[in-house]
């Protein structure tokens, strides 16, 4: 799904670093999502934004801080991560947000592969 663009594709960082993942879509979608995927596991939802407001936080540790500055852009700010946070981070978007979000397909970006040293 190349209509959702994620940068960078790969990121290696130390536990004391601060970095950000970026996700962008220009399809006019008003719901955006962050997922985390560990090796040999399915993607797990982290956050949902609807109309630029955080609507779901799946009890994600505060070292992950999402931000949605506008309807096209979603960031994930990272600080003081642990080695177990190494994973593939996927961004997705869907056309409509609440209350009709359930019946719209999600479109995924190619992900950022994150390694914590």
Partner 1 sequence: GIQVEQSPPDLILQEGANSTLRCNFSDSVNNLQWFHQNPWGQLINLFYIPSGTKQNGRLSATTVATERYSLLYISSSQTTDSGVYFCAARGGSEKLVFGKGTKLTVNP
Residue 89's nearest CA partner among 98, 97, 77, 101 is 77
Per CB under 8 A, 11 contacts partner 1: no
117 in Cβ contact with 14 (< 8 Å): yes
> Which of 11, 13, 45, 80 forms a contact with partner 1 (CB under 8 A)?
45
- Applying the rule CB under 8 A, the residues between 54 and 73 that interact with partner 1 are 55-56, 58
Q: How far is the CB of 92 from partner 1 (least distance, A)?
A: 8
Q: How far is the CB of 27 from partner 1 (least distance, A)?
A: 13
Shorter beta-carbon distance to partner 1: residue 29 or 107: 107
Both structure tokens of 29: 């979608």
Per CB under 8 A, 42 contacts partner 1: yes
Shorter beta-carbon distance to partner 1: residue 15 or 54: 54
Question: Could you give the 3-state DSSP secondary structure of residue 83?
Answer: helix
Residue 77's nearest CA partner among 59, 92, 89, 93 is 89
């Amino acid at each position: 799904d190349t209509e959702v663009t994620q940068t960078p594709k790969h990121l290696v960082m130390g536990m004391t670093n601060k970095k950000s993942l970026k996700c962008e879509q220009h399809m006019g979608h008003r719901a955006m999502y962050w997922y985390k995927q560990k090796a040999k596991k399915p993607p797990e939802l982290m956050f949902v934004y609807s109309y630029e407001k955080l609507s779901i936080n799946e009890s994600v540790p505060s070292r992950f801080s999402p931000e949605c500055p506008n309807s096209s852009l979603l960031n994930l700010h990272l600080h003081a991560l642990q080695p177990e946070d190494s994973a593939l981070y996927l961004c997705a978007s869907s056309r409509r947000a609440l209350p009709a979000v359930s019946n719209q397909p999600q479109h995924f970006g190619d992900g950022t592969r994150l390694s914590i040293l």
